[in-house]
Amino acid sequence: MFAACIPEIFDLIGTRKSYGGNYMKEPNRRHIVVCGHITYESVLHFLKDFLHEDREDVDVEVVFLHRSEPDLEFEGLLKRQHTRVKYFQGSLMNAMDLERAKVHDADACLVLANKYCPDPDAEDAANIMRVISMKNYCEESRIIIQLMQYHNKAYLLNIPSWDWKQGDDVICLAELKLGFIAQSCLAPGFSTMMANLFAMRSFITSPDMAAWQNDYLQGTGCEMYTETLSPSFSGMTFSQASELCFVKLKLLLLAIEVKPIDGGDTKISINPQSSKMPANTVGFFIAQSAEEVKRAWFFCKGCHDDVKDENQIKKCKCKNLAKFRTGVRAIQLVGRAMANSKTNCPQQNMVNSAMPIPIVKKNMMSKEENGAKNMMNGRVKVPNNTVDDTYGGYHLSYEVKKLMPTNKSTAQQKPSKLEVGIADDQAKDFDFAKTEMKYDSTGMFHWTPARSIEDCILDRNQAAMTVLNGHVVVCLFADPDSPLIGLRNLVMPLRASNFHYHELKHVVIVGAVDYIRREWKTLQNLPKISVLNGSPLSRADLRAVNVNLCDMCVILSAKVPSNDDPTLADKEAILASLNIKAMTFDDTIGVLNQSSNAPDAMSPLGSPIVLHRKGSVYGSNVPMITELVNDSNVQFLDQDDDDDPDTELYLTQPFACGTAFAVSVLDSLMSTTYFNQNALTLIRSLITGGATPELEIILAEGAGLRGGYSTPDTLSHRDRCRVGQISLSDGPLATFGEGRKYQDLFVASLRNYGMLCIGLYRLRDAALTTVDATSKRYVITNPPFDFGLLPTDQVYVLLPFERKQSRFSFSETEV
C-alpha cells in the first residue's frame, strides 16, 4: 500500500512551490513587505540603499512578494542576503497571499514602480490597485508607493483608508524629477546635490584621483538626518544654533520642527528668521553618518564649551542633561494621557509639505512608546467647542472649503454672515472689483488668468524679434500621443510666490505644439510662458529663442522607449545636447541696451529688454541639463570626459557637474521615506516651491490652479526661504573668494544676510581663475569648515524672503 503511494508523494513534493509557505515572523523584529516591480536590478538597488552601513541599527527584515519565481541571478542575491531577505511567490490581489506575507503585521508595505514601462498610466493603475487590495485586507497598513504620473496621485485620495496620519505616502517620480530639474534652473547643479543627500553612499578618497573628484566624493557621503537638539540650544535663534552646530559640532543644521504658540500642529521650518527655539526641538542635519548627528543631542555648554575636537563631544554626566531628560519624560507622559483621552486626533501638518509626519502603527509599539511618539509629533488636545476648519493644519481658502465634505452639526454650519474666504474684519474695506489676483488661492504661487495657447505661441520670426535673456529654454521631444509628463511640475517651482514677479524667469518651450496643447490646461494659469512650434534639433529654432543667452536649457523627452532596444530611449536627448554644444554664436551682449524705465523698453512679452550678462560664444558653454532614461547613456553626453562605461551614474562627470539627471536616482527615496519621512518632507518642500495639502486638493479637482485675493494670511505664505546661487566674483561676498575659508563665508552669510550656505559650485579646472573663463563646474556638498575658497566659486544658499529687491545679483549661470 505504501509502495503504491510513493509516486504520488514524490509528485506532490515535486510540484510544491519553492517560494510558497508562510513568513515566520521573529519576535521583536520588524519586517516590511516590498511588492510591485520586482526584478534583480530593482531589488539590488533597493537593498543596497536600504541596508546601507551608514543607517543606524537596521534590524528590519525585507519580505518580497511577487507573482513570478526569481531567476538564477536573482536567487543568488536572495541567498547572499538570506538572513535579512525573504521571497514569497504570490499575488497582491489575493488575501491568502497577503496573509502568508504577514502584511497585517508589517511595519510598512512598499510598492515599486517600473520606471521604464511603455504605459505609465497603466503602471500607476496597477500599483494603485495593489494599494486598494492591501488597504482592503488591513486598513492600518502603512503604505509607501511609487507613482509615475502626477495626475494619478488624486486617485489615492479616493481610497477611504488612505491616511497621511498613518504614514501613508506617495513618491511621484514625475513631480520630483521635474522639481529637481526646475531647481537646477535657479541654481545649476542643485539637482545633483539633493540627489546625493537622500542616497546612502560612502565615499573613499584617493590620492590617485583628481582633486575635483575627491572634493565631489566627500560631498556624496553626506546624508540628511534628524536629531533632537540638546537643552543647551534652548532659547537660541535658528541662526545662532546653526552657527554653533557648524563651527563647534561640524554639523550643518538646515531646518527645525516648529510648534506654533497657539497649540497647532508641528511644522517644518527651513532656515527660519525669527523666534527662539524651545526645549526638545528636532533639527534636520546634513552629515556623514547618524553617529555624527548625535553630537547635537550630547552637546552641553557647561561640559563641552572648551572642547576643540568635535569627536570628543559625547554623552556627559551633567545634571542639566539628566534634568532635561526627566522633563522630556514628563512631557511624554502628559502626551500619552492626552492621546488616550482623545478619540479624534487633529491632523498634523508641515510647512511646504504635502504629507504629515508618520505614526507607526499601534501594534508595532508599546503603550509607552505610543505616548512618546504622539507627543514628539506635536499632537495636542483641541477643545470640543472649537470649529475645525483646517485641513492638515492649514486654514483653507473659501474656494477649497466648497470642495471639502462637512461633518459639522447643523448649528455650526450656519454662518452668522456671508463667508467671503477672508476674515470679516478684512472684508469690510475689500474692493473685489478693483483687486487684482496675483497669486493662487493658497498664496504659494504666482497666478494669472487663463490664457489660450494660441496667445502664447510664437513662430520663429516672432521669437527672433523678441529679446529673450536670462530665460529657461525647454527642449521637448514628444509625439502627439506621447504620455503626459506633467510640465506643470517643471514650471510651478519657477513660479513660487517667494520670488518677486520681476525675478521670474521666462519659460520658452520648443517642441510639437500638438503635444503641448494637451498639457496646456495645467499651464494656462502660470505667467511668463511661451511656446515655439518647432524642433529642438533645429538650430534655427534654437537661435530664435536665444539659447546662448538662456540661464538654463532643459532637454526632456516624453516619447515611449522602444521595447526592441531600451538603450536607444535617450537618442533624441543626446542628439539635441550634442547639437547645442556644437553650435557657435556671435560674440555679442545683445540687441538693445535701453533703460528699463523708458516706456517703450519692454519686449513683446512684457519683460525688460536690458540684458544682464554676456551670451555664450560656444554652445558647449550654454548651461544645460539633460534628462536620461537609461543611466549608461550618460557616457555619450560628454565626448571629452574619461568616465568608464560601467561607472555608476553618481560618479560620472556629467552628473557631478549637474548637467545630467536620471530618474533612477529617485529610487533611494523609498528607503528614505520609510526610515525618515521628515527628510522626504524637507526635500519635497525645497524642490516643489511650496506644495501643500490644500494645493493637492485643488489640483485633484482637475481644474488647475485657482486664483485668490491677496490677504495678510495668504501674503504671509511668501515668507519662506528659497534656493539660490551667489557668485564670489563680485558683490558683498567677493572678499571671501580671496583665499578665505568656507567657515568664514558660512558665518558671515548667516550673521549679516540670514543666508544658509549648503555647498559650492566650483570650476573643475581650478587653474582658471578669471571670471570670464568658461569651463565645467562640479558640486561640492557641505564642504569642510577649513575648505579654501576661490574667486570663481559659486555658493548654494537658502535665502530668506526679502520684501525689497535683493542685495545680490543672481546671475546663476555666470562663469
What is the SS3 assignment for 664-711?
HHHHHHHHHHHHCHHHHHHHHHHHHCCCCHHHHHHHHCCCCCCEECCC
- This prediction's pTM: 0.80
DSSP string, 487-524: THHHHGGGGBTTS-GGGPPPEEEEE-HHHHHHHGGGTT
Q: Backbone phi, then psi, for 624, in 5-degree steps?
A: -145, 145
Q: How far apart are CA 416 and CA 410, in angstroms?
A: 13
The dihedral sign for the CA sequence 640, 645, 651, 654: positive
Cell numbers representing residue 18 in the block: 519553492
Q: How far apart are CA 242 and CA 248, in angstroms?
A: 10
Q: How far apart are CA 265 and CA 692, in angstroms?
A: 14
pLDDT of residue 338: 53
Cell numbers representing residue 485 in the block: 509628463
Q: What is the pLDDT of residues 325-365, one digit of tens each?
A: 555 555 555 555 554 544 444 444 433 433 343 433 334 44
pLDDT of residue 436: 67
Q: Which helix (H) or strand (E) holds 472?
A: strand 472-477
Q: How far apart are CA 814 and CA 811, in angstroms?
A: 6
The closest of 687, 624, 756, 772 to 177, measured between CA atoms, is: 687
Judging by DSSP bridges, how do beta strands 756-763 and 794-799 pair with one another? antiparallel
Contact partners, residue 220, CB within 8 Å, separation at least 6: 196, 199, 201, 203, 650, 781
The closest of 793, 812, 655 to 722, measured between CA atoms, is: 812
pLDDT of residue 515: 93
Q: How far apart are CA 418 and CA 412, in angstroms?
A: 14
Q: Which residues of the chain have pLDDT under 70?
A: 1-17, 54, 56-57, 203, 262-265, 305-306, 309, 317-436, 563-564, 587-616, 640-645, 693, 702-703, 766-774, 803-815
pLDDT of residue 263: 65
Extract the runs of DSSP E, i.e. beta strands, from 512-667: 529-533, 552-557, 624-628, 660-662
Determine contact, residues 726/808, Cβ cutoff 8 Å: yes
pLDDT of residue 537: 94
Q: Note the maximum CA span of the chain.
A: 107
Contact partners, residue 589, CB within 8 Å, separation at least 6: 611, 614, 615
